[in-house]
Chains A and B, each alone.
Chain A
Amino acid sequence: MATDLVVVGRGPAGLLLSSLAVQAGAAVSVVADGLGTLPLWGGQWDFRSYDTDGAPITDPYAWWRAREPHTSPPGVTRGWLAYWQHLAALWTEMGIAVNPPGPNNQWTVTPLGHLRPTYLAPSWQYTTDKPSPVIFVGVPGLTDFVPTAMARVYEWATGATAYTMMLETPPAWRETWNALNWAWFLDAPGGQEWLMRVLRGRSLPSEGPLLFPQILGVDHAQAFIAELAKTLSRRVAEVPLPPVSVGGIRVQRRWDRWLRHHAVPFISGRVHRAEPDQVVLADGRKVTARVVLATGGVLGGGLLVEADGTVRDAVTGVAVSFGEHDDLATVGYLETTGPIPVVGRMVKGWNPDQYGEGGAMILSTVHAVHQRLMRHSLETGTWR
């Protein structure tokens, strides 16, 4: 297979690195044995959400500036804004509308109705710079999004009013419907007409955006949300739900399509062995090209935890942590630009789940590796 670069893994880090390489003119192949982790998330990217004492951070640039260069993740000194602007432009090109990255974190609402910071989010997701009155619109049977409970928490947390509305069930509805069933129903004209009709028949509270669970369609959600907003003369946005998460599925479908349009093949299979210039799949297939691992951490399956607590790279078998005394929440790679480069949020010593810096880790590792590959390509005339 004639390819310059083979990226193992199709989570956000693998797709972003593939996109950068494609834009730089490389021929890229993606190898993955699963769906990747994007369907687990709503699609937002965090920069740094909380301080070490758990207080939300307003200006993440200032937070990072105060730490550079000594404690920032590998490869990062400056350039955050350019990385975020690149991601926003890339998404826009794929058809994912996103607000231009600003100086500050935005607030977004959780399924329990409280606020948390995020940095870059697709425009279907509700974000705001200041808490204000909102309307939670629930649908029957979706226990992830209970408007009455969310309103209680929202009012407690913000002091702003939260109104609630419950919709009825459409004729096609079954008690077993989850968020994805709703999303596919609302992705088609019949479902969209049903929701439009129901909402037109309701009188809305006088103030506040309509906040739905993240179910307003899959491929057509953006257009449908815009149409709802126009018809109702009200801002309409969504709250992302726990997995399986429709927002991440939307992002993944668009991103996959964009890469396929740029002639990137997706090879399905498990990598058995990796060398800097070749991967061997479990069924014996070989792909010869410069290898980048984007296999994820413990969650993604790129790092395997053994019974005694040792953590190893699932492909190379190299241990990144030894025994039971390391904190599993912060295991990861100390060095990501070795002979086989690694990209992703699993950077040793950082805890993205607790502090909300996963997006920053992905950006920093991806750009660090990309810049190295580019330099090599410019110097030698080949990506290998």
Chain B
Amino acid sequence: MVVVIGGGSAGLGVAWDLLLRQIPVTVVESGPMGRGTSGRFHGLLHSGARYAVVDPVSAEQCRAENARLRHIAPSAIEAVEGYFVSVDEVGESYAQEWLKGAAAANIPVEEVSRDRVLEHLPGLTPDVRQSFRVHDAVLEGFKLLEMLTTNIRSRGGTVLQEASVTAVHTVNGRVSGVVVRADGEDRVIPCDAVINAGGPWAFQVAQLFQDHLDMQLSSGLMMIYANRMVPHVVNRLAPPGDGDIFVPHGNTVILGTTEVPQNTADPVEPTRREAQYLQSLGAQLFPEIVRWRVLRAFTGVRPLFQGSSLAPHSRVSRDFTVVDHGATVGFQGAFSIVGGKWTTFRLMAERTGDAVAAYLRVHVPSTTADVVLTPPETQKRQHTGALVCECETVGVGDLEPRLSEPLADWRTRTWWAMGPCQGTVCAHRGIALRIPHDGVLAALQDLREFRAERERGMRPVAWGDNARQWALNHAVTGQTLAEGAVRKIGD
């Protein structure tokens, strides 16, 4: 048995990898699935072109993994294609170097005429000078996380949510079990190895192995605009920087991102100032962005890795690293997987799986590149029953089969309350479905947390039309639903 700490792309990916090698696994996630970095990214499935100059190894890995993910998880990928456009002299001169890098990494790039690109990308600045098409795509992260979860479970693996590992037991210096706390109770799960896939929390998890991971965390802001204003991925052709990428996602488009060093693993609250800055950068590609309707802002934490306390670790890429804590501090059977990106999650999982399988003396190679994931039944949207969420057309029939899932998963799995109204007129409807199942207090607590979470994303970008939506949200929740004052009469 191997215990994996963390239910993001790395954790679920390595659990899936090990299961396919016939190694039993238990994934322990402390929150809802994808609450960390995996659920907080712009949704880009890289072609590799973005790293053609700055990180050729990543570029090559992205190119290969892009093709593999299209094969193993087609329903979680929208093959929209992407463009790299230069809009100034900096971009134009960078283009030569970039084309060379792309060729070296075997990344297909096709030059597109100015007229053609303006036709394909309405609203793109007329300052566009050169443009190239690449195989960028959209990765629906939450969908893939759920697919991994259900596939792991259907092969006999265990995935625990809202549970955390509080201690790791050893016998003769080798991992023998972990203590898992869930619902206030501790229990021991015996295991032969434990994998830290904590993402930005990897530092804290590694302390369970008495090792010190030197993480370099940075926060990235993203903004979601209501309406699919950009039908393809658009990258600014320039050295990667702030505010240089647009990714269409469902009915929206996401603008990313910024890079601000931070000390904590929890995502920081977006600020109005940073959102304004990001939008001003986006305006260099799409000048009309100031008139687009912004929906919300969110931040994600990049968990970059600097090093472990002791030198020997196998640095497999500039991008991600597998740390064997047996080699670093003599804690045999403990591994950490740090860094990386969604596009290469499968490769990270394979490399980690190789290390763990070797430790367990299981000589079965990874097969994740070939085994196609089965989409769960619940991902076939029903659109049946009375409408609950009008923005995203989620019906009672989509939600009722999921009554035992945490409320946060309703959002990320059905897209309930994710549309332009941000739950203003549908959150209470969803909660009403849950009250008979969860009880009054738990359901109302969920509702309060839901509102607070939506507020964090809406308030910093409450301007223009979105300010009116924000005000409507406050008026309906404060007055019609009087949610702030739910209490027992006489209390």
Contact = CB atoms under 8 A, between A and B. Distances in A.
A140 to B, nearest CB: 7
Interface string B270-306: 0111011001000000000010000000000000000
Interface residues of A, number: 56
Interface stretch (A20-28, A110-118, A194-202): A110-118
Contacts of B483: 112
Contacts of A159: 488-489
B406 interface: no
Given A111-B481, A241-B480, A328 B470 contact: yes
B485 A116 contact: yes
A299 B462 contact: no
Nearest to A310: B463
B272 A242 contact: no
A354 B273 CA distance: 26
A158 interface: yes
B467 A111 contact: no
B167 to A, nearest CB: 39
A352 B477 CA distance: 12
A244 B479 CA distance: 14
Nearest to A353: B478
Contacts, number: 150
A305 B293 CA distance: 13
Nearest to A50: B485
B428 interface: yes
A115 B483 CA distance: 10
B114 interface: no
Interface string B430-451: 0111011001110010000000
A243 B440 contact: no
Contacts of A158: 488-489
B279 A307 contact: yes
B475 A299 contact: yes
A110 B480 contact: yes
Contacts of B435: 146, 148-149, 152-153
B468 A54 contact: no
Nearest to A356: B479
Contacts of B316: none
Given A114-B486, A242-B428, A328-B459, A301 B468 contact: yes
Contacts of B488: 156-159
B121 interface: no
Nearest to B388: A143
A127 B398 CA distance: 35
Interface of A: 40-42, 46, 49-50, 54, 56, 107, 110-112, 114-116, 131, 140-144, 146, 148-150, 152-153, 156-159, 175-176, 240-243, 245, 297-299, 301, 304-309, 324, 328-329, 352-354, 356, 358
Given A54-B485, A307-B463, A353-B479, 9 more contacts: A50-B485, A56-B489, A114-B482, A149-B433, A149-B435, A153-B440, A298-B467, A299-B472, A328-B459
